[in-house]
């Protein structure tokens, strides 16, 4: 349940409003759908690697064994960096949501939610599973409820009795003429800007294998989770964007304004326009728990990654210090400091600050996904060089290596064009340029800096120890899955 709903958060509930405003209902649907197809390739790649070599840390450890320790070092710090910027992003999102009910300064709510996150990670870590299971259940119920509500309203079952159908796809239209550019060019530019929102919404979807070493029967269960990713993407992302695009016009004044008000959530706007009075508060309450849950997961994952990096000698040893409950409190405190980035809302407003942080998280996610595809392709061609048949692997992912190549090429294009607006005459913006591209030089400095200092080299394809790991898997067979009966045979979402 936690893995199923782990990535569903403010990127879908809140950030999708900007996608519809900039790209139109069809543009947003196409953007989220395209990125959804790409991340399926990423998940299939990391699942095949983890089925063979189930290690905690997933791609960080796989990069060391299959490519180069320097790549492991760079991706480890990229993961920590992603946690550092996603944490304030979720806190700012929480502050945006609370403004639906309160006019108190956002800084107050960022402080309150931040302190609760630190307390949860230092004092209540033993109930983490129970908390996240509860939040995940709420998110899934909300998604299902919203789509059912949208279907009823579209068909004329709302309080106003109006049948919406595809009227907003005709007027104001399926696309938006972005930045005043008319015709196909303006429509394409609007569509292209939705990718940043979509990437942010899907960020973290590859974490199904992050705790592979602690997963029960990982060589069986991780591939099962990976094969169900497609259905999760279709039902929870693509269907939600499609339905809300039928109910909210891209030129809605609440959708377009940048005040940081929670009314920017297209799901809230859809319920309000239909005359449903109670649902907006229910939506925002669940989305608020979603934002806090995502922040909690980010702080936990970032601090544990930092602890693991220190244990491998890739971070200062001070991060190895733990309290009597085994919690790496120095690592938790260090990641928590970056919550202060959320206070940018004091000068720029919650909505604008959320946009910057969203871009930073999106770029870090793209770099991480590209690393996964790169490591997988090295592994794939290592098998070919050594004459190892794919049938001998614990699990071979479908559509490979084409899925990995396609995702890698597309992610590279998205990374390089993420801040294209700043290169258009009259639209230069320092903050947008930095948030769109700062991660690229940081990653290369980490990679080549480690190579220079440690004198590492890329492992030749013929020397990657693939057969060794296959032998280990064969020597430790996992029990077969219990056959499903009754209604459980139709379960396509979780085990």
Whole-Å CA distances, 192 to 5, 47, 141, 414, 430: 26, 29, 31, 9, 20
User: What integer best gives the mean pLDDT of the chain?
Assistant: 84
Phi, psi angle pair for 281, to nearest 5°: -70, -35
Residue 259 in this model has a pLDDT that exceeds 50: no
CA–CA separation, 219 and 91 (whole Å) = 36
- What value does the mean pLDDT take over residues 356-376? 91
Within 99-127, residue ranges assigned H as helices are: 106-122
Share of the chain above pLDDT 70, in %: 89
pLDDT recorded at residue 7:
65
pLDDT digits (tens, 9 = 90+) for 83-112: 888 888 888 888 878 877 877 877 888 889
CA–CA separation, 312 and 291 (whole Å) = 31
pLDDT digits (tens, 9 = 90+) for 4-59: 565 677 778 777 888 888 899 999 999 999 999 999 999 999 999 988 888 777 78
- What value does the mean pLDDT take over residues 410-423? 93
CA–CA separation, 199 and 61 (whole Å) = 24
pLDDT recorded at residue 258:
47
With CA atoms as reference, report the closest residue to 318 among 309, 110, 453: 309
CA–CA separation, 165 and 150 (whole Å) = 11
Tokens matching residue 393: 């692997």
Residue 213 in this model has a pLDDT that exceeds 50: yes
CA–CA separation, 315 and 338 (whole Å) = 17
Placement of tokens 């791609």 in the chain: 59
pLDDT recorded at residue 484:
67
Residue 128 in this model has a pLDDT that exceeds 70: no
């Amino acid at each position: 349940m936690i893995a199923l709903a782990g990535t569903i958060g403010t990127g879908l509930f809140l950030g999708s409003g900007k996608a519809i405003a900039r790209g139109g209902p069809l543009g947003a649907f196409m953007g989220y759908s395209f990125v959804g197809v790409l991340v399926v390739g990423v998940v299939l790649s990391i699942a095949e690697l983890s089925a063979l070599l189930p290690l905690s840390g997933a791609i960080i450890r796989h990069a060391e064994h299959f490519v180069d320790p320097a790549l492991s070092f760079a991706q480890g710090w990229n993961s920590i960096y992603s946690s550092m910027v996603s944490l304030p992003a979720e806190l700012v999102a929480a502050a945006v949501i609370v403004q639906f009910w309160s006019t108190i300064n956002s800084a107050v709510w960022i402080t309150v939610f931040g302190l609760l996150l630190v307390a949860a990670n230092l004092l209540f870590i033993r109930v983490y599973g129970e908390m996240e299971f509860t939040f995940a259940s709420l998110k899934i119920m909300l998604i299902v409820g919203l789509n059912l509500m949208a279907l009823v309203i579209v068909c004329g079952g709302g309080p106003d009795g109006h049948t919406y159908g595809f009227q907003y796809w005709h007027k104001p239209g399926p696309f938006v003429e972005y930045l005043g550019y008319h015709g196909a060019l303006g429509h394409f530019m609007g569509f292209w800007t939705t990718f940043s929102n979509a990437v942010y919404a899907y960020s973290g979807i590859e974490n199904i294998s992050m705790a592979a070493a602690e997963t029960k029967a990982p060589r069986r269960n991780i591939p099962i989770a990976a094969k169900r990713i497609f259905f999760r993407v279709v039902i929870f992302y693509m269907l939600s964007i499609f339905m809300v695009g039928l109910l909210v016009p891209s030129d809605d004044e609440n959708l377009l304004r940048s005040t940081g008000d929670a009314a920017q959530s297209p799901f809230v706007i859809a319920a309000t326009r239909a005359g449903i009075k109670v649902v907006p508060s229910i939506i925002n309450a669940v989305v608020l728990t979603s934002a806090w849950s995502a922040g909690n997961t980010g702080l936990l994952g970032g601090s544990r990654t930092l602890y693991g990096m220190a244990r491998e000698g890739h971070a200062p040893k001070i991060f190895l210090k733990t309290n009597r409950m085994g919690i790496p409190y120095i690592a938790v405190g260090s990641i928590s400091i970056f919550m202060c980035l959320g206070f940018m809302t004091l000068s720029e407003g919650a909505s604008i600050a959320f946009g910057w942080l969203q871009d930073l998280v999106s770029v870090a996610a793209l770099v991480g996904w590209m690393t996964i595809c790169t490591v997988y392709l090295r592994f794939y061609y290592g098998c070919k060089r050594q004459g190892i048949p794919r049938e001998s692997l614990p699990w071979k992912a479908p559509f490979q290596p084409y899925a990995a190549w396609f995702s890698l090429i597309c992610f590279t294009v998205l990374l390089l064009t993420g801040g294209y607006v700043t290169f258009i005459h009259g639209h230069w913006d320092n903050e947008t340029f930095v948030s769109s591209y700062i991660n690229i030089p940081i990653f290369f400095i980490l990679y080549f800096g480690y190579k220079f200092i440690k004198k590492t080299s890329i492992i030749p394809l013929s020397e990657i120890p693939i057969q060794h790991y296959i032998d280990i898997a064969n020597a430790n067979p996992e029990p077969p899955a219990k056959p499903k009966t009754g209604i459980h045979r139709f379960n396509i979402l979780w085990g």
